[in-house]
């Protein structure tokens, strides 16, 4: 298996990673090239604050020149990630307007750079009516689409539950149904989020079932990108904790299946695994391109690699299993206490035996008959 970080010219897939923009957004292009990316992601501005300086004309031109030099098509190969605190499903209008302004700024930056795709976490309905907030989210997306020219917004599926938008595929279907220009909307599927939300991917059968469900509910025509991450937490844990490929609870076979699926050949497939620096992504891109050459799940070299990576992640998995079991135990105890409290409250409200309305009516009729 190759370990050199040379950009593949033979892979059918656009494997890449989320890279640094330190020193200027144009540096993301060279950073991606240096670790062998055939696609890449970046933050358009600081993910930790609402406002950032606008790009200079010089920086925009340098970004475009780098894309041309290193043969990246900004319309199809680059997937910026939106700020995490953008929430267009928030029932608080003032906060939603602030999120919208940040989104619009991001989309404007995309179009300044000639970038055609943009990834967005769809947010949370918080304490609002979930279905009403989904419609609000779509209304703001429609507004943003009308104010921009060409960038396509990809909503990311999420790992949580309850008021978090996108952990249920039906949320994404609902939002898309309200979008007026459907050529400007799509979905980015994150493998960690998918697994943690309760959609299994670990073998051929469950892998195919998920994609059939996705096609039936959302539609494969809306799939615009994939975020490739293993999961640090167990199946259906509803936790967004990424792990290096093969070291988590999903396992390497899922990523081999992705590396052999013709449906994904034209999509940006972006790594977001926990790495010390971008070099770690280069090694994982090499791993994915090697998996592309492994045709059988029974391959002896594949089995050895699976065992090697599982051993590397064993300590972390055991720690997460313990945390998960403790969390489930606390939930069960809390539910039992609530049930006992509700039962006690209900018994207090219940009329004493023989003193309910039917018993009193029966006694009244009996007395009336005696008097007659």
Please give the helix or strand (H or E) that residue 57 lies within, else none. helix 57-69
16: β partners: 39, 270
Nearest to 136 by CA among 101, 175, 168: 175
Indicate the pairing of strand 242-243 with strand 230-231.
Answer: antiparallel
Nearest CA-CA partner of 79 in 132, 49, 118: 118
Residues with catalytic function: 48, 81, 84, 121, 156, 190, 193, 227, 240, 242, 272
Residue among 38, 43, 4 nearest 27 (CA): 43
CA distances from 123 to 97, 100, 110, 138, 184 (A): 14, 12, 20, 12, 19
Strand order in the sheet with 39-41: 39-41, 14-18, 268-271, 223-228, 185-190, 152-156, 117-120
Q: How many helices (H) and strands (E) does the chain have?
A: 12, 9
Distance CA 206, CA 184 (A): 30
Question: What is the distance between the alpha carbons of residues 210 and 196, in angstroms, rounded to a whole number?
Answer: 13
**223 membership: H or E segment, kind and range:** strand 223-228
Identify any residues that bridge with 156 across adjacent strands, giving them in sequence order. Answer: 188
200 CB-near residues (< 8 Å, 6+ apart): 206, 209, 210, 235
Structure tokens at 305: 């690699």
Length of the chain: 372
Q: What angle is formed at CA 74 by the lines to CA 24 and CA 66, rounded to 5 degrees?
A: 50
Q: Which of 250, 257, 205 is nearest to 232 (CA)?
A: 250
Do 292 and 258 meet the contact criterion of CB atoms below 8 Å apart?
Answer: no
Q: Rounded distance, CA 115 to CA 103, Å? A: 15
């Amino acid at each position: 298996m190759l370990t050199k970080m040379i950009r593949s010219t033979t892979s059918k897939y656009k494997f890449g990673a989320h890279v640094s923009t330190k020193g200027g957004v144009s540096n993301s292009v060279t950073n991606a090239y240096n670790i062998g990316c055939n696609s890449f992601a970046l933050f358009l501005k600081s993910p930790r604050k609402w406002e950032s300086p606008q790009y200079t004309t010089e920086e925009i031109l340098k970004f475009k020149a780098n894309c041309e030099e290193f043969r990246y098509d900004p319309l199809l190969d680059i997937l910026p990630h939106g700020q995490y605190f953008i929430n267009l499903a928030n029932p608080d209008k003032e906060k939603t307007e602030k999120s919208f302004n940040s989104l619009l700024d991001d989309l404007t930056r995309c179009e300044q750079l000639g970038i055609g795709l943009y990834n967005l976490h769809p947010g949370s309905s918080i304490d609002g009516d979930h279905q009403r907030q989904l419609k609000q989210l779509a209304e703001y997306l429609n507004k943003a689409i009308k104010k921009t020219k060409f960038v396509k917004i990809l909503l990311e599926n999420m790992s949580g539950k309850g008021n978090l938008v996108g952990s249920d595929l039906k949320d994404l279907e609902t939002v898309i149904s309200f979008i007026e220009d459907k050529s400007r909307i799509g979905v980015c599927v994150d493998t960690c989020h998918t697994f943690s939300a309760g959609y299994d991917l670990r073998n051929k059968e469950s892998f195919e079932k998920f994609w059939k469900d996705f096609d039936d509910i959302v539609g494969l025509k809306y799939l615009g990108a994939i975020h490739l991450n293993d999961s640090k937490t167990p199946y259906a844990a509803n936790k967004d904790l990424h792990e290096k490929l093969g070291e988590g609870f999903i396992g390497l076979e899922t990523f081999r299946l992705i590396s052999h699926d013709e449906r994904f050949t034209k999509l940006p497939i972006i790594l977001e695994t926990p790495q010390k620096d971008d070099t770690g992504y280069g090694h994982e891109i090499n791993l994915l391109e090697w998996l592309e050459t492994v045709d059988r799940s029974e391959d002896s070299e594949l089995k050895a690699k699976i065992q090697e990576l599982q051993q590397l992640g064993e300590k972390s998995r055991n720690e997460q299993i313990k945390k998960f079991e403790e969390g489930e135990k606390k939930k069960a105890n809390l539910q039992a206490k609530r049930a006992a409290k509700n039962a006690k409250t209900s018994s207090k409200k219940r009329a004493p035996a023989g003193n309910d309305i039917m018993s009193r009516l029966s006694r009244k009729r009996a007395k009336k008959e005696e008097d007659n």
